[in-house]
Structure 1
């Protein structure tokens, strides 16, 4: 089981952090700088469920791997990402869509800021754990 834990924990965490970085630093800016807003907005909204599913899978693999290794504290980071992703996907995103459709720009802007902070915190925690794991001596 420890071998499986080693195969899942760190690679899952690396895939999680890398995917989050790619989406936020490459994909979203590229969409909004290269496509008209009328096309980029709907396109990026269709990408969020894919991003959220990716985050759930990679965080789940990482958390499971850390639990198999008996490292519950390390499993908290991907665990927090799982909870934050589920909350964002199933609670916050429907509200953001409703606020956008209703033309409530202030509520949408606040919700978008919250979404950005949650995603950023999840990424920051994953990156910190990844750096900490990489700095360990074998």
Structure 2
């Protein structure tokens, strides 16, 4: 069972990091540099539920693996990613939509900046944990 927990925690963590990196470094910049803004904004908005679901699944796998190994401090990283993703999806995203629809550009920009920093902080923690895992095995 220990081997399964290790595989689950590391695979989930690696997939989480990869998905976050792909969305932030490839998909979003590509969409906003290749599509007209009137298309890019609504298109990227439709991608968020898929991104959030992906993050919840991969972070959940990782967290379950760490919990099965009784590595609760390590489980806090994917656990935080789960909480931050739920916050982003069910609290921040509806507010961003409302601010955008109301034409409140200042509130939208501020909220978008906050959500970007939260996503970046999640990614930073995930990468730090991956580095720590790699160093422990090397």
Normalised to the residue count of structure 1, the TM-score between the two structures is 0.98
1:123: which partner in 2?
123
* Unmatched tracts of structure 1, length 5 or more: none
1:61 paired to 2:43: no
Secondary structure class of the residue paired with 1:70:
coil
1:106: which partner in 2?
106
1:45: which partner in 2?
45
Deviation at residue 105 of structure 1 after TM alignment: 0.4
Deviation at residue 76 of structure 1 after TM alignment: 0.1
What does 1:1-138 align with in structure 2 at a 5 Å threshold? 1-137=1-137
Whole-angstrom CA distance in 2 between matches of 1:65 and 1:39? 40
Whole-angstrom CA distance in 2 between matches of 1:15 and 1:111? 27
Deviation at residue 101 of structure 1 after TM alignment: 0.2
Number of residue pairs matched? 138
Deviation at residue 12 of structure 1 after TM alignment: 0.5
